[in-house]
Amino acid sequence: MKIAIVGAGAMGGLFGARLALAGQDVSFVEASETTIEVISRQGLRLETPDVQESVWVPISRAHQVTGHFDLLVIFTKGFHTAAAIESVRHLVGPQTWALSVQNGLG
């Protein structure tokens, strides 16, 4: 399954890394140039009680990503949702599913 994780913060990073480790084709779409630079250089660091490793995943700004995805998972704060969805509209094909996970946990 080709999955785009929109938002590479704590929750997007956790779920995206887990999906990548499970063998899914995961790409990250991120607005923060700093986050893109860090993850591109160091990988996405996953630290849980059972896993400690760096996961190497593609990460780019929305306008740099092409093609359609099977699933878009939106991990943004509520007030960024409309802009995030607008930025990835070009990644939606006729069979694309979208899942919005708002504001993390807590």
Taken in order 94, 103, 30, 19, is the CA torsion positive or negative?
A: negative
pLDDT digits (tens, 9 = 90+) for 80-92: 999 999 999 999 9
pLDDT digits (tens, 9 = 90+) for 53-98: 999 999 999 999 999 999 999 999 888 999 999 999 999 999 999 9
Domain ranges within the chain, ordered by starting residue = 2-100
Domain 2-100 has CATH 3.40.605.10: no
Environment class of residue 75 by beta-carbon count within 10 Å: exposed (0-12), middle (13-18) or buried (19+)? buried
pTM: 0.92
CA 27 to chain centroid: 6
Contact present, 7 and 30 (Cβ < 8 Å): yes
Structure-token pair, residue 76: 């943004």
